[in-house]
């Protein structure tokens, strides 16, 4: 398997990340007046539940 460590935990200092999948910051257009919304929270919760080990 080419990416055998992709789904293994990673220790980052005192924090253990469940895998090496990183979800980086990007524009979602969900903000209102420059502030996050409930739609933001749901969006990132879905990404975390979907398997992303680290959301930046």
> What is the tens place of the pLDDT at every residue in 12-22?
999 999 999 99
Alpha carbon distances (Å) from 14 to 6, 34, 41, 55:
20, 32, 25, 17
Tokens of 20: 């090496």
The residue ranges of DSSP E strands in 1-56, in sequence order, are 10-12, 15-17, 22-23, 54-55
pTM over 0.85: no
Domains of the chain, by residue range, sit at: 22-55
> What is the tens place of the pLDDT at every residue in 29-43?
999 999 999 999 999
């Amino acid at each position: 398997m080419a990416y055998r460590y992709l789904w293994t935990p990673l220790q980052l200092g005192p924090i253990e990340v469940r895998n090496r999948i990183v979800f980086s910051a990007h524009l979602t257009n969900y903000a209102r007046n420059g502030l996050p919304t409930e739609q933001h929270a749901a969006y990132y919760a879905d990404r975390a539940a979907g398997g992303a080990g680290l959301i930046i």
